[in-house]
A and B are shown apart, each in its own frame.
Chain A
Amino acid sequence: MDSGNGSEDGTPWGRGDGQGDDDDNNRDWGLKDIPNDVEVLKRVWRNEKSAPEILAYESLLVERVQEQIANMEENILAAAESLDDMMLSIFEMDVNRLMFLLRAYLRVRLSKIDKFALHVMRTADLWDRLSPQEQEYASKFVDVLSKHMHDSVLGKLEKEYESMMKQAASSEENDMIVEPNLDTYVFCRSKTALGTFQLDDKGDETVDMMPNDLYILRYRPVRNLIETDRIELV
């Protein structure tokens, strides 16, 4: 269990590496190659973009990235006089790149929360994947949306039809809640050979996962692999 050591590689700011922390929110990104946080964030963002449902929140990564951005900006200000314009703009571009990635990651998650808010609130695993701020946002959003629907439409209907989650009080289950389609197809790739992998319960379809090959599969069977990080979505 190493403690992360930021490697100073001669640039004005240290690049944090993603290795080391062993909490459940952060995983061992591979001891052989030590990607820096930018690569990790890029990968996490790509996964989140392609997955139909919301994935686990990388809270430690986000914290480190925010720290890194703050450090980089400080260093830029401190070094502003001693560097020429071109170097300065390169460093600024780097900060912008990192900020963009972070914002894009958070935006993708917000858009999924907006679409599937009711479903996320009612499913314990999905709820646990949200950060505390996202959870607060999600509950507020659900309240705002239900109030809007009630005031405009549902309040004017009879008791039987006034629920936002069920079509009619006589429906058996909450059939109006939107759920993400877990059977949609995604592109994925794995770094290591995963062997023969079963694609559905009956054992009819299997897929041999070779390293660095691109596959198009339904999302549902590869869900677990994404959680344990043996596959990445493209």
Chain B
Amino acid sequence: MFGRTAAQLVREVNNDDQHIRRFNYDLFDKVIAEIQEHFQQVTTIMEKGQEENEDGQITSVDENYNGAVIHHQSILRNKRCLLAYMYHRANRLQRLRWQLGAVLPEDVKGLLHPSEKEFVKSYSEALSSYMTKLDIDLTVDITPPKDPYIQVRVLDNIGEVLLGDQSTSLVRNSIHFVKRSEAETLISQGLLEEFTG
């Protein structure tokens, strides 16, 4: 109560790592239940206060009203914590979209709340539509380019891929000299890795 459970939720997202954890349905529902409880309290106190007002005009601050303020503030605190939790997770999902591309890996999808899955889909759509309107792919070229071509090693058998204007067959462990922008998408999908040395 009074925001303590919500603080636990926030602590969960307050870490520096990149991965998304499983959505904490338990804590989340608990906080929502607490909010209902607080709201009950607020309404009861306000009603009680109203009754007394009809009897005699009470001009001084009734002690019971302070309780209402505390419950109201707890609700605000809980709301803020819940929104912060959702917002931080949403930010991580956005970052994943930039790193991994339009399709989220299945194991990440399993950790998400259904509303988050919707969010990922619609965000990805909004982003792709913006990029197609400008005809520029913004998710490549994240670091300033040093060389136009890089050497890559193939990690998985992909078969024939169109690289530049030639299609090359990518066999596992073969090394190719390709253009950076084309390699980047495949690297982020984990199919190629940069070959240094």
Known A144-B122, A148-B86; contact A92-B79, beta-carbon cutoff 8 A: no
Known A144-B119, A168-B72; contact A134-B141, beta-carbon cutoff 8 A: no
**B130, A136: Cβ atoms closer than 8 Å:** yes
Count A interface residues, CB 8 Å: 38
Q: Chain A 161-179 against B: per-residue CB contact (8 Å), 1 yes, 0 no?
A: 1001001100000000000
**A110, B138: Cβ atoms closer than 8 Å:** yes
A40 at the interface (CB under 8 A from B): no
Q: How far is the CA of A156 from the CA of B35 in the complex (A)?
A: 10
Q: How far is the CA of A107 from the CA of B142 in the complex (A)?
A: 9
**A106, B148: Cβ atoms closer than 8 Å:** no
Known A137-B126, A152-B86, A156-B32; contact A103-B136, beta-carbon cutoff 8 A: yes
Main secondary structure of the interface of B (DSSP, over half): helix
Main secondary structure of the interface of A (DSSP, over half): helix
Contacts of B137 in A (CB 8 A): 103
**B149, A148: Cβ atoms closer than 8 Å:** no
Contacts of A136 in B (CB 8 A): 129-130, 133
**B115, A152: Cβ atoms closer than 8 Å:** yes
B145 at the interface (CB under 8 A from A): yes
Known A106-B138, A107-B138; contact A145-B90, beta-carbon cutoff 8 A: yes
Q: Chain B 91-129 against A: per-residue CB contact (8 Å), 1 yes, 0 no?
A: 000100000000000000000010110110011011101
**A148, B79: Cβ atoms closer than 8 Å:** no
Known A136-B130, A152-B113, A153-B79; contact A102-B145, beta-carbon cutoff 8 A: no
Please name 5 further chain A to chain B contacts, defined as beta carbons within 8 Å, in addition to the given A151-B115, A161-B35, sorted by A numbering.
A107-B138, A110-B138, A133-B134, A141-B126, A149-B83
- Residue pairs across A and B with Cβ atoms less than 8 A apart, 28 shown, are A66-B135, A89-B148, A89-B149, A96-B141, A96-B145, A96-B180, A97-B144, A97-B145, A100-B141, A100-B144, A102-B136, A103-B140, A104-B141, A133-B130, A133-B133, A137-B126, A140-B125, A141-B123, A143-B122, A147-B118, A148-B90, A148-B116, A151-B115, A152-B113, A153-B79, A161-B35, A167-B76, A167-B79
User: Contact residues of A with B, CB < 8 Å?
Assistant: 66, 89, 92-93, 96-97, 99-100, 102-104, 106-107, 110, 114, 133-134, 136-137, 140-141, 143-145, 147-149, 151-153, 156-158, 160-161, 164, 167-168
User: Contact residues of B with A, CB < 8 Å?
Assistant: 32, 35, 39, 72, 75-76, 79-80, 82-83, 86-87, 90, 94, 113, 115-116, 118-119, 122-123, 125-127, 129-130, 133-138, 140-141, 144-145, 147-149, 179-181
